[in-house]
Amino acid sequence: MTELPIAGPLPAISEIDSASLAAWLAARGEPAYRVDQVLGGAHRPEASSFDELTDLPIALRDALGRSFRFSTIVDSHVIGADGGMTAKAVHELADGQRIESVLMRYPARGAMSERTTICISSQAGCAVNCPFCATGQAGFGRQLTPGEIVDQVLHWHRPPWNALGDAREGHYNIVFMGMGEPLNNADRVFEAVRLLNDPERLGIGARHITVSTSGVVPGMDRMIDELPQVNLAISLHAATDSLRDELVPINRKWPVAAVIAAGRRFAGRTGRRVSLEYVMIDSLNDTDEQADGLLELARGWRSHLNLIPLNPTPGSRWSGTPTAGIDRFVRRLRDGGASVTVRDTRGREIDAACGQLHAQLSGRSLRDAREAAALTAPAS
């Protein structure tokens, strides 16, 4: 059979649906059980190309390679931090767009076994334009496809990283806290979540996935119906509309009260606790007045406050709240009865916050960046 020329990039194996793959295989006279073999093989941690799926006939491996992409990521530059416990990748896609993902390992502690969290991007860039965020500063590139979202997870799953083990054991979590506003790309993000959930693929439980949003209310309501077991985090960052209009400009469309109401609907309908994220900016949103406003917003429903020390972007007009200020803020919230944690500052030395490494590498090829990093790495 002659292959028709295909315009544009080939479909990604990570996003092909089982029925289409079954039809493609049937057209080649392959038995139905090959669907599971192909999908299972492509999601095995040791596989890095179709050639390595050695339980498939060679002719089929070749045909797969001509018809599908094993990954939508064409190149990655990875740097490590925190003594190897954090690694950050800038990934280049077929059209040259760049996105980021971060791997964070947490060692076993007490009764808790080792855990890993992967932070992934949902868009190349972001249109929300939060002034403290490097991604927001760079503007919007384009939406990511479901395959481009899943392939960030597969990047860490596959050689040479093999960092994830078996998702079914529930030792790793996925957070949509990389580049982009996931609920401004809801259809593709929801499809990516379904692919990540699929037991024929990675089989990551919905409860191990968190979507973080700047407050896209219709998307939050869709999550109640379509992804009720996925965790929701809301990037609040201010308790009043006047301050939030500045820090999270989408607030002009969906103000604080509407965002909190949507969070309450989610918590009420799903029974799941919603996390309110709050970046701590020195002398801006860390005042007693904001703390009291935050207490009002968090009271009376299943919410949890997560404070994040600001990781200042280059040229930022703001700095992070000093530790003493964070402690004071936390005390005031806890005295008011709120459930509060402070997020650790993983990967600070490698600019692991949203979009920062991408900004640093702008205008350089990933290969050059890799070579420069190798030159400056300490001899081992």
129 binds, among ligand SF4, ligand SAH, none (CB under 5 to 8 A by kind): ligand SF4
| Contact string 136-175 vs ligand SF4 (x = CB under 6 A) | x---------------------------------------
Residue 130 interacts with ligand SF4 (CB under 6 A)? yes
What is the rounded distance in angstroms from the CA atom of residue 215 to the CA atom of residue 212? 9
DSSP string, 105-116: EE--BTTBPPEE
Cis peptide before 199 (omega within 30 of 0): no
Q: Report whether 152 contacts 209 (CB < 8 A).
A: no
Give the other-Cβ count within 10 Å of 126's Cβ: 28
What is the rounded distance in angstroms from the CA atom of residue 292 to the CA atom of residue 200? 48
Our answer to whether residue 133 is catalytic in this structure is: no
Residue 256 interacts with ligand SAH (CB under 6 A)? no
350 binds, among ligand SAH, ligand SF4, none (CB under 5 to 8 A by kind): none
Residue 321 interacts with ligand SAH (CB under 6 A)? no
H-type helices in the chain, by residue range? Answer: 18-27, 34-42, 58-67, 134-138, 146-157, 186-197, 217-226, 241-247, 256-270, 288-298, 323-335, 356-360, 366-376
Binding to ligand SAH (CB under 6 A): which residues in 71-100?
A: none
310 binds, among ligand SAH, ligand SF4, none (CB under 5 to 8 A by kind): ligand SAH
Tracing tokens 């045909």 back to the chain, one arrives at 63
CA atoms within 13 A on the CB side of 297: 29
What is the rounded distance in angstroms from the CA atom of residue 80 to the CA atom of residue 83? 8
Residue 156 interacts with ligand SAH (CB under 6 A)? no
Amino acid identity of residue 321, one-letter, is T
What is the rounded distance in angstroms from the CA atom of residue 324 to the CA atom of residue 157? 39
286 binds, among ligand SAH, ligand SF4, none (CB under 5 to 8 A by kind): none
For the CB of residue 311, give the shortest distance to ligand SAH in the complex, in Å: 4
| Contact string 278-317 vs ligand SAH (x = CB under 6 A) | -x----------------------------x-xx-x----
**Segment interacting with ligand SF4 (CB under 6 A) among 16-24, 124-132, 338-346, 368-376:** 124-132
Residue from the set 18, 49, 129, 240 that interacts with ligand SF4 by CB under 6 A: 129
Residue 250 interacts with ligand SAH (CB under 6 A)? no
Residue 212 interacts with ligand SAH (CB under 6 A)? yes
Our answer to whether residue 100 is catalytic in this structure is: yes
Q: Which tokens sit at 334?
A: 């806890």
Residue 231 interacts with ligand SAH (CB under 6 A)? no
Torsion from C-alpha of 163, 166, 168, 169, nearest 10 degrees? -80
What is the rounded distance in angstroms from the CA atom of residue 373 to the CA atom of residue 350? 12
Alpha carbon 238 to its chain centroid, in Å, reads: 23
In the complex with ligand SF4, the residue whose CB is nearer, 250 or 338, is 250
Q: Is 56 left (phi over 0), alpha (psi -120 to 50) or beta?
A: beta
Binding to ligand SF4 (CB under 6 A): which residues in 61-90?
A: none
Q: What is the pairing mode between strands 86-93 and 98-106?
A: antiparallel
Q: Report whether 279 contacts 310 (CB < 8 A).
A: yes
Residue from the set 71, 185, 214, 231 that interacts with ligand SAH by CB under 6 A: 214
Residue 128 interacts with ligand SF4 (CB under 6 A)? yes
Residue from the set 101, 185, 197, 214 that interacts with ligand SF4 by CB under 6 A: 214
**Segment interacting with ligand SF4 (CB under 6 A) among 121-129, 154-162, 201-209, 318-326:** 121-129
- List residues with catalytic annotation: 100, 354
Contacts to ligand SF4 by CB under 6 A: 126, 128-130, 133, 135-136, 180-181, 214, 235, 354
Contacts to ligand SAH by CB under 6 A: 126, 132-133, 176-177, 181, 212-214, 235, 277, 279, 308, 310-311, 313, 353-354
